[in-house]
Chains A and B, each alone.
Chain A
Amino acid sequence: MLASLMQQIVSGLAIGSVYALVALAFSLTVRALNQINFATGELFMLGAYFGIAFTVMLGLPFWMAIPTTAIAVSLVGVAFEKLAYRPIFKANADHPARLHILIICSTVGTGIFLQNGAMLVWGAQALPFPKVFDQTPLDIFGVLIPSEYLWITLVAVLLMAVLNFFLQSSWTGKGLRAAAQDRETAALMGVRLSAADSWTFGLSAGVGAVGGLLIGAISFAYPTMGAGYALKGFTAAIIGGLGSMRGALVGGLLLGLAESLVIAFISSVYKDVVAFSLLLLFLQFKPSGLLMKPVQRRV
């Protein structure tokens, strides 16, 4: 019993850290642009396919497939910003309500485009990922833990640490944070807003893609794989606080853990019920999440 509980917790933290990456992908565009990117799940899916492409077709070792996938899908994100976001933003910048509706349409449409594009290129059936993780489980105090879960958690947390360091310490990162807090004043400091928006979409896409790559590596890649993870990642973002970086991590891990406990004590059938009940409860009673200050209107 204890052993299986331990295993559930470890796998819950691993899946939770992937939720955290997706939550972060959502939060990056929300924080910087106040827009939800509804193609986040499809950029996640691209991560899995690009990972297969880099490891199988180009023969890269898995540890190198991680940064190359992140960069490749980031570039897709940048193209996304230039083609499907900026023209609409420019034409409607003075009408925030209309802009929101149009950006929803545009990001949903981009998601459909990417999903069908993947189907066209790679087919509708699931593609197996080569076995990249050591299949012998780790023996920790007599409890056998599949090592892939530890790797997933490690890679996800490491990526978040790197991104945090970039945003806090580099000039580009500081410019992005400044633009997220006050676009006009950031522009007066010399931050080029269109470049900042490209960075935002690129980082968001890259972070989500690594999540897809990690999930792909323990299962399969298929064109619709992003939808479920997008919903869970969004739930994690709401729990932690949409727009908060720490909130994404906390929300993701909590959600993953909650799901694993439901599996351990009740039944895996109910894990989605619990996840989406949490989403509804937070939206109803604490929409700012655990780590975000409630919205204040700036005068």
Chain B
Amino acid sequence: MSLLEIRSLSVSYGRIPALRDVSLDVEEGEIVALVGANGAGKTTLLKSISGLLPRTPGSIRLEGELIDKASPANVVRAGISHVPEGRRVFPEMTIQENLEMGAYVRHREAGVGQEIDAIYERFPILGERRKAMADTLSGGEQQMLVIGRALMAKPRLLLLDEPSMGLAPKLVTAIFSIISEINGNGTTILLVEQNASKALGVSNRAYVIENGQIVMSGASKDLVSDRKIIDAYLGEAID
């Protein structure tokens, strides 16, 4: 059984279809990349998984359990954390409070404090500035903060939306090594990226989405050498 199984999902904004008949699987332990141009429907897909958008028709299952009627709060509880596009920190909360918000659904459990310390160990820069407001952080630090915040929910599946967007090349490399590291610690990842070469480099499998439809899928190492992919998405971006 796949960890995440999406079947024939369609989503529209008013009368405008954004996703058409999308089917996708994520197996436990994988990094799966979702590659496509701006406006292809990548963000829409993540938002419908996490319950921000109404989803009909089609089905979304987490370990066989239907979650396509669940509220965002229940999707987090079920074990899916979504890191939205654009480094959405809570700007007028401290770094510490931002991380606490990541544990909002499990605040009655013990040990939240220790887990925050674990995040500080992984990202020392956050620990040094724990009392600072999140909007005083640089772009790269904010990206680390939102990833750390999502990990605070102890997800089984992490949805990452454009984690490298707007970051300097050195930071992009750092973020991608963080992604592999998180996966190495046992968290499954569904990664949305415009930086196709990086995304294919870090992932096991990938789906290519165009105009709301999945047009290609396969092992990432095969897609990297696919002529159509190179022409459409890798072009000059190969590095």
- Enumerate chain A interface residues (CB-CB to B < 8 A): 171, 174-175, 177-178, 181-182, 184-192, 299
Expressed in whole angstroms, the minimum distance between the Cβ of B223 and any Cβ of chain A is 29
Q: What residues of chain A lie closer than 8 Å to B101, measured between beta carbons?
A: 174-175, 178, 186, 189
Closest to A193 in B: B72
A185 touches B90 (CB 8 A): yes
**Contact residues in A for B91 (Cβ distance below 8 Å):** 181-182
Known: A174-B97, A174-B101, A178-B93. A190 touches B88 (CB 8 A): no
* Interface flag for B63 (CB, 8 Å): no
Residues A181 and B52 in contact in the complex (CB < 8 Å), given A171-B107, A175-B104, A189-B101 = no
Query: Considering the complex of A and B, which 3 residue pairs feature the smallest CB-CB distances, nearest first?
Result: A190-B105, A190-B73, A185-B88
Contacts of A174 in B (CB 8 A): 93, 97, 100-101, 104
Contact of B76 among A171, A182, A184, A190 (CB under 8 A): A190
A185 touches B84 (CB 8 A): yes
Q: How far is the CA of A6 from the CA of B102 in the complex (A)?
A: 51
Instruction: Find A182's partner among B52, B88, B97, B100 (CB 8 Å cutoff).
Output: B88
Contact of B73 among A171, A177, A181, A191 (CB under 8 A): A191
Q: Is B42 at the interface (CB under 8 A from chain A)?
A: no
Q: With A174-B101, A182-B88, A185-B84 in contact, do A192 and B52 touch (Cβ < 8 Å)?
A: no
Instruction: Beyond A177-B92, A178-B90, list 14 extra A-B contacts (CB 8 Å).
Output: A171-B107, A174-B101, A178-B93, A178-B104, A181-B91, A184-B84, A185-B84, A186-B101, A187-B52, A188-B50, A188-B81, A189-B102, A190-B73, A190-B77
Given contacts A188-B82, A190-B77, A192-B71, contact A177 B93 (CB under 8 A): yes
Contacts of B82 in A (CB 8 A): 188
Cβ-defined contact, A190 with B72, below 8 A: yes
A178 vs B93: C-alpha distance when bound (angstroms): 8
**Number of A-B residue pairs with CB-CB distance less than 8 Å in the complex they form:** 61
Q: Give the one of B51, B77, B82 with max A CB within 10 A.
A: B82
Cα-based distance from A175 to B105 in the complex (angstroms): 10
The CA of A57 and the CA of B42, in the complex, are separated in Å by 62
Most central of A177, A181, A186, A299 by chain B CB within 10 Å: A181
- What's the Cα separation between A258 and B168 when bound, in Å? 52
Contacts A171-B107, A174-B101 given: A188-B84 contact, CB under 8 Å?
yes
Interface centre among A174, A188, A190 (most CB of B within 10 A): A188
Bound CA–CA A191/B81 (angstroms) = 13
Q: Are B52 and A189 in contact (CB under 8 A)?
A: no
CB-CB under 8 A for A187 and B73, given A177-B90, A178-B90, A182-B88: yes
State A222–B82 Cα separation when bound (angstroms).
51
Residues of A within 8 A of B104 (CB): 171, 174-175, 178, 189-191
A185 to chain B, nearest CB (A): 4
* B73 proximity list for chain A (CB < 8 A): 187, 190-192
Q: Which residues of B188-225 have CB atoms within 8 Å of chain A's CB atoms?
A: none
For chain B, residues 44 to 79, give those with C-beta under 8 angstroms from any C-beta of chain A: 50-52, 71-73, 76-77
What is the chain A residue whose CB lies nearest that of B47?
A184
Interface pair A187/B90, CB less than 8 Å apart:
no
Q: Which residues on the A side are within 8 Å of B51 (C-beta)?
A: 187
List of A residues within 8 angstroms of B92 by Cβ = 177, 181
Q: How far is the CA of A178 from the CA of B50 in the complex (A)?
A: 18
Report how far A187 CA is from B52 CA in the complex, Å.
8
Which of B72, B86, B97 makes the CB contact (< 8 A) with A188? B72
Cα separation A191 to B72 with both chains bound (whole Å):
8
